[in-house]
Structure 1
């Protein structure tokens, strides 16, 4: 009886047989590193089937796990990454960090993933226990993933500037040293409005570039920085709209600032393209912020102003990526374009992807 049982156990297929891909080879982790990173966040649905896979190098999955996406991305040589988020107060204890990291490594292995994107975004003040714990978390996560999944990638999302934006006063240089690279979220740059409470660009050109210069001034290697750009904009209701197109906003405080972009609503690029041509003004261009915007009236007669990014504004920032020698570019998020069969939408979508590499 026992020899027969042993024989049956030996005949059980190895773990690789559990691979959900039609070709089991596609469950092998991606270990090649592309010279230029195009980092895509996936948030929902099946739009990933229409991504420009000739460019994509990494996909951070912020949606329910989809084995079909993993198999397809691997067939294109692109990494697929877990989302990593944990309350910072929970990782001050080294044992809690170790437990959390082990769980993420096990999950990545079970889903045939290629690493993890750490998206913390919580307020942390300098020289606090959380400040040191966050750096330790990134280091220990990187060490564990690199050890347990050779060739894996560990990345960390940061605000557009290292200057305590939204009270995120992290050890940026220390974190950059211990992970593969930082994904710089060069959007939501009106999250804290300290000057006039008026609408402005989501990712203004000069402000965006100043953030990178500040990171580099901290002795962070440009090759450790990936520029994140927005494929969405903000729709603001104007309390008043001046002749100079200054849209006065409701005051919505955020983390100490008197005003913020929380006064507006996020709108996808696909939706914006359906509205801009029928707006009051059509597309306008702000020469200072190097961003497009337009004004419209809603059904109740209220004036709105919408700020967004398009191929022109993105290409300007992408040129800086090349000139400054950054690691690459990416976006939040890959699912905000119109991937329908409408010819106009198809051209708009193609133009947005092309703007990443002008």
Structure 2
């Protein structure tokens, strides 16, 4: 882990080396697990740096760690009453055997306890076909992880990341109904919705409104409780190089197959919102709005003369989707990821960042 320093002891627990020591917080009470569950979830993925100091902590309920462990962040999150959870990913083929699942789960529980954390976010995202050994192993992993964490850490939270629809997106043909029942809730990744482009190879919105809302209706239609669903929104966009751009802004793309589809957003490049905000006003087109997909986009020309089209989400498009949280009775909202905004002291950036956080609240 690279975390053992002065005052830390090395323990061997169920074959896993973990660091265990005194509480790193100034107030030892901050090392106690968070047990309170708030009515509205605001779920943040933390990826890098110290941007977390500028999150909207008045509303944040959970921070999922997708970066090296930071004890200062753990203490601060607990001070704000927010959970701080691990991330977990494992090749599904490696946990078909029950003893291997148990060992992996034990390692994660011990790590969470050693770091005074409050649960785990299972981010698997692997292709799994129905009725295969991996299909059953994945469901068992969720069940056993939830049971182990709840038993070991009072009030802990186990969540599972799913694609924008339960319809075998990217060949992720999971037992969604069972998984939702077995964990605390699903984080629905309502983005990268062009990962499989089945129609024309043209640039489109990362999270088009109608498709996004239809995905939630599909989850509910397979008997998943809406309170088990947290809406994920993107704080990034896709930059596509156009083979040609028509007068009505149709950007034709190079074909790039992905898991059965002839075209994919993998041909594009992910761009943080903070970069988009610096580029859009100097673009060829300025900000444009697609009324069908209810998403902003713009066109620009690079130094080599190539035309690009950038699709993204901003407060207008996010607010439209967030409004459906109450209509559908969902548990809350979150984003990938919390560190894609501009947290500098530039006044314009500060307003843009504040508006993006505000857009999360329906």
TM-score by length of 1: 0.95
Asked if 2 retains the 8 angstrom alpha-carbon contact of 1:314 and 1:356, the reply is yes
Query: What is the alpha-carbon distance in structure 1 between the residues aligned to residue 269 and residue 25 of structure 2?
Result: 39
Q: 2:288 aligned with 1:292, yes or no? A: no
Tell me how far 1:24 sits from its aligned partner: 0.9
Deviation at 1:22, TM superposition (A): 1.1
User: Displacement of 1:284 after TM fit?
Assistant: 0.3
Q: Deviations over 1:150-179 (max 9, x none)?
A: 110000000000000000000000000000
Displacement after TM superposition at 1:308 (Å): 0.1
**Residue 182 of structure 1 pairs with residue 186 of structure 2:** yes
Cα deviation for residue 323 of structure 1 reads 1.4
Alignment of 1:85-164 (within 5 A): 85-164=89-168
Structure 1 runs not aligned, ≥5 long = 1-14
The aligned runs of 1:9-158 (5 Å cut-off) are 18-158=22-162
Question: Structure 1 stretches (4+) deviating beyond 4 angstroms?
Answer: none
Partner deviation per Cα, 1:293-352 (whole Å, 9 max, x = no partner): 000000111000000000000000000011111000000000000000000000000000
- Name the count of aligned residue pairs: 344
Is the Cα contact below 8 Å between 2:20 and 2:114 reproduced in 1? no
SS at match of 2:85: strand
Q: Given the alignment, which residue of 231, 236, 240 partners 2:240? A: 236
Q: SS in structure 1 opposite 2:297?
A: strand
The match for 1:3 is none
Q: Which runs of 5+ in 2 are unaligned?
A: 1-18
Greater C-alpha Rg: 1
Matches within 5 A, 1:336-347: 336-347=340-351
The answer to whether the 8 A contact 2:21-2:114 is kept is no
How large is the RMSD of aligned CA atoms in angstroms?
0.9
329-338 or 20-29, larger mean C-alpha shift = 20-29
Please give the alpha-carbon distance, in whole angstroms, between the structure 2 residues aligned to 1:117 and 1:191.
Answer: 22
Instruction: Decide whether aligned partners of structure 1 residues 227 and 189 sit closer, same or farther in structure 2, where only a CA change above 3 A counts.
Output: same
Contact 1:230 1:332 in 2 (8 A): yes
Alignment of 1:299-310 (within 5 A): 299-310=303-314
SS of 1:122's partner is coil
Identify the residue that residue 173 of structure 2 maps to in structure 1.
169
**How many angstroms apart in 2 are the aligned matches of 1:349 and 1:323?**
26
Secondary structure of the structure 2 residue equivalent to 1:187: coil
> Scaled by the length of structure 2, what TM-score is found?
0.94
CA contact (8 A) 1:17 1:24 kept: no
